[in-house]
Amino acid sequence: MSDSENYDPLTPRSRKNYEAQEQRFPRGLVIRLVAYLVAGHVFAAFLYLLFAVAGKG
């Protein structure tokens, strides 16, 4: 008998693994979040500079 025959997806996993997984964000999500924050601030700074230069002319 293989393990896949006895596998039940509805049985809860061990509490230790579940809590550890709940506390951490996936690494890809953190990288994307930081990239979007940096890109968003760079874009906002560009728009600010654009309007500041256009306002003086």
10-46 tens-digit pLDDT: 877 666 666 666 678 899 999 999 999 999 999 999 9
Q: Which pLDDT score, from 0 to 100, does residue 25 have?
A: 87
Cα 21 to the center of its chain, rounded Å: 14
**Measured in Å, how far apart are the chain's first and last C-alpha atoms?**
80
18 in Cβ contact with 12 (< 8 Å): yes
pLDDT at 57: 73
pLDDT for residue 26:
93
- Please determine, for residue 2, whether its predicted confidence score (pLDDT) is greater than 70: no
> In the prediction, which pLDDT does 54 show?
94
